[in-house]
Amino acid sequence: MSKGFALYGRFRHVYVSPALVFVAVLLYLPFLWTAYLSFTTYDGLASPVFTGLDNYRRLFEDDALLTSVRNTLLWVVGTVVLPVGLGLLVAVLSYDLRRGSWFRLPFLLPYAMSGAGLGVIWGFILQPDGMANQILTFLGMPGGDTAFLQDGPRNTFAMIVVWTWQQLGVNMLLFVVGLQSIPKAPIEAARIDGASGWRLFRHVIWPLMRPITTVVFGLALVAGLKNFDIVWVMTQGGPGRSSETLAVTMYRDVFVADEYGYGSAVAVLLTTVTGLASYVYLRRQAGREEAR
């Protein structure tokens, strides 16, 4: 073979560079710029003025932001408990049933709808004179005059229920995939030893599901933290900023109030919380993995 022949070609880096350029220019550069802007006062027109930690100090005194943090936490807890918990329930009940996929279909239909579509449709259903209240009245149930979206934190709870209706499907699907791929031998062995029902699930199946539960819970955590579409479409964070999440607060501070610097600080806060939560969660998972 001649010395000049390069098996892997001479221009290998040319193949990675387009992807790198896209990611660098449109993701990393803006990321760094936002981090810088969070230390400035900026209205998008005049040049940014460096003001140190002022924006971050202001975060702690901002009542709207505190409400937003509370709502974001509600979203995280709500997401992990409801769509993930119920998704697990449906998956465990149906994964080894004959024709189990038919039982799963009702939960999959809403998932294919977009967050914005969900918001549009449920916004109309939950209006004060909308279908939800009319049906409660019709059934003779109390609460037929509930203002689902008018007061905090009830509006957040109402939206979490809507979110659960949509998100159960995807969590269920991931759990089913996980359940169908766990080894059968330990389960059979435990059955022969007389384990069944809850004990079989708790001590044999659940530990074997660890890889998929790590993925599903991690996803739910991040999705809960970054929630924007539903809230923006259904309430725009209102009334009176009572249903804002951090992602909505950031959007409102920047594009409604023209406070680009302060909005950037909210974005940095959201990023830090998301990063920390993911890190702590993954560390805990990894720690458990080692302990076994």
Q: Which of 9, 140, 183, 287 binds other proteins (CB under 8 A)?
A: 9
> How big is the site for other proteins, counted in residues (CB under 8 A)?
95
**Separation in Å, CA 285 to CA 73, 189, 209, 217, 218:** 21, 26, 13, 11, 10
Residue 151's closest CA among 226, 67, 47, 51?
Answer: 67
Q: Closest distance between other proteins and the C-beta of residue 124, in Å?
A: 5
Examine residue 187 and tell whether it contacts other proteins (CB under 8 A): no
Q: Which of 219, 277, 281, 285 binds other proteins (CB under 8 A)?
A: 219
Q: Is 40 helix (H, G, I), strand (E, B) or coil?
A: strand
Handedness of CA 182, 185, 188, 192 (dihedral sign): negative
**Separation in Å, CA 205 to CA 82, 187, 292:** 21, 7, 15
| Contact criterion met (CB below 8 Å) for 252 and 262 | no
Q: Which range in 32-40, 49-57, 61-69, 74-82 contacts other proteins by CB under 8 A?
A: 32-40
Examine residue 72 and tell whether it contacts other proteins (CB under 8 A): no
Residues 225-284 that bind other proteins (CB under 8 A): 226, 228-229, 232-234, 236, 246-247, 250-251, 254-255, 260, 263-264, 266-268, 270-271, 274-275
Q: Is 227 helix (H, G, I), strand (E, B) or coil?
A: coil
- The residue (of 140 and 197) whose beta carbon lies closer to other proteins is 197
Task: Give the Cβ contact number of residue 235 at 10 Å.
Answer: 25
Examine residue 12 and tell whether it contacts other proteins (CB under 8 A): yes
Q: Which of 81, 103, 207, 284 binds other proteins (CB under 8 A)?
A: 103
Q: Between 112 and 141, how does the x/- string for binding to other proteins read (CB under 8 A)?
A: xxxxxx-xxx-xxx---xxx-xxx-xx---
